[in-house]
């Protein structure tokens, strides 16, 4: 059974967290909520979400991929060195790295998007381009093991690509 980490921080966009979390579980994957600390986090709209495991680079080998939701959480996640190293390691191992909305900020800090086709929320287009990526503006973009999407409306198509990648790799 494949194991996927869904990252969590305060001010996460709840729908971008909940939808992939349950969609991946529906497909039979083991899904864990990883965060810098085990505690209750508050979503953008106030929903409490509990992290069930502390993100630790020592556990990176247990995972087949990571999903990074948006909201304001990515700005907090990108400040954590363990988060960045976790994402870099998964990416360099050819495992799934999925990011939606503002989550490509984390990919920028991880320095894994140079020369890659990437999409994200339109307000971070300049950030994505300045990091050397090719910003497509497509609802969903797949470039190797990197899957990105613009916003919640893109999530059904994004999750189809995420699930396809996990089943084929």
DSSP-based three-state secondary structure for 51? coil
| Calpha distance 50→71 (Å, rounded) | 17
Between the alpha carbon of residue 13 and those of residues 36, 41, 112, the distances in Å are 17, 12, 23
The catalytically annotated residue of 51, 99, 101, 124 is 101
Element (H, E) at 166: helix 155-168
| Calpha distance 10→14 (Å, rounded) | 10
CB neighbours (10 Å) of residue 57?
14
The question of whether 123 is a catalytic residue gets the answer no
| Calpha distance 50→34 (Å, rounded) | 9
The question of whether 102 is a catalytic residue gets the answer yes
Between the alpha carbon of residue 87 and those of residues 5, 44, 60, 93, the distances in Å are 10, 23, 9, 10
What are the beta bridge partners of residue 41? 49
The catalytically annotated residue of 12, 36, 102, 161 is 102
**Residues catalogued as catalytic:** 101-102
């Amino acid at each position: 059974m494949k194991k996927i980490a869904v990252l969590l921080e305060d001010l996460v966009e709840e729908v971008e967290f909940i939808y992939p979390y349950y969609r991946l579980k529906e497909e039979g994957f083991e899904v864990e909520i990883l965060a810098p600390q085990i505690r209750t986090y508050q979503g953008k709209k106030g929903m409490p979400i509990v992290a069930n495991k502390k993100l630790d680079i020592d556990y990176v080998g247990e995972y087949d991929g990571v999903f990074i939701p948006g909201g304001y959480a990515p700005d907090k996640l990108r400040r954590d060195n363990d988060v960045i190293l976790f994402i870099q390691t998964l990416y360099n191992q050819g495992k799934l790295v999925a990011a939606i909305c503002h989550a490509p900020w984390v990919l920028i800090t991880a320095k894994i998007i140079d020369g890659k086709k990437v999409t994200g929320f339109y307000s971070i287009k300049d950030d994505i381009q300045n990091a050397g990526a090719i910003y497509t503006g497509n609802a969903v973009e797949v470039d190797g093991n990197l899957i990105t999407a613009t916003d919640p409306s893109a999530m059904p198509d994004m999750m189809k690509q995420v699930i396809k990648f996990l089943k084929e790799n």
